[in-house]
Amino acid sequence: MKQLWFHLMPYTDLPDDFRDNHPSVWVDVHSSLFDPRKAHGMYNDFMDELEYAADCGFDGICVNEHHSNGYGLMPSPNLIASSLARRTSNAALCVMGNSLALYNPPTRVAEEFAMIDCISGGRLIAGFPVGTPMDTCYAYGQNPSMLRERYLEAHDLVMKAWKEKETFSFNGRYNQQRYVMYGQGQFKMILTHRSGYQAVAQ
């Protein structure tokens, strides 16, 4: 059994009467409640906690992607993972993950994950969630009827970008790229809604 430590990075200074005076912590939470000076301290505390979890011997430390809410201040988990790649040495870095349907082109995710994996010496666990409707549809305006198709096509493109040895063209419904080829990471494991956990050949 592996033990992984997960952080949502919530905003920790909401007012005591928040529940009584605000309809939600998602999407329509008022921007006046956010203080960037306080967030500076929070982000650094959160990263200290993740690094401490790695030092304590957890098999992996986990980050994820959420948008426009007060309980998860991590719109780009790749930024956090890239910093952790330099400041930790043994724990796996589990990015749970990038909501592929939101990226245009999704090969940006392939590039960034490969980069994090190389910086960390092959410690990345790459996660690809479809994403919650609050993130994908409300915050980012995606059409919910097309979201699953966009996700599946993006997933296939990213996986092919990592596995192919030669430059290739991709002509999907949502993504068209004439030249695709990115350096492969070592990727011990991929977590997706399409295939569950799967090992990737070294």
DSSP 147: H
pLDDT digits (tens, 9 = 90+) for 56-83: 999 999 999 999 999 899 999 999 999 9
Return the domain boundaries, the chain.
4-199
CATH superfamily, with its number, for domain 4-199:
Luciferase-like domain (3.20.20.30)
Q: Is residue 131's pLDDT more than 70?
A: yes
Q: Determine the distance from the C-alpha atom of residue 65 to the mean position of all C-alpha atoms in its chain, rounded to a whole number.
A: 5
pLDDT at residue 201 in the model? 39
pLDDT at residue 16 in the model? 95
Task: Identify the residue whose tokens are 């990471």.
Answer: 185
pLDDT at residue 52 in the model? 98
User: How high is the mean pLDDT of the chain?
Assistant: 90
Q: Report CA-CA distances (Å) from 52 to 12, 60, 84.
A: 19, 11, 11
> CA-to-CA distance for 53 and 5, rounded, in angstroms?
7
Tokens of 128: 């690809």
Burial letters for 58-96: b for 16+ Cβ neighbours within 10 Å, e otherwise?
bebbbbbbbbbbbebbbeebbebbbbbbeebeebbbbbb
Tokens of 7: 């952080």
Q: Is residue 202's pLDDT more than 50?
A: no
Q: What is the pTM of this model?
A: 0.89
pLDDT digits (tens, 9 = 90+) for 147-196: 999 999 999 999 999 888 889 999 999 999 999 986 666 665 666 655 45
pLDDT at residue 187 in the model? 60
Q: Is residue 200's pLDDT more than 60?
A: no
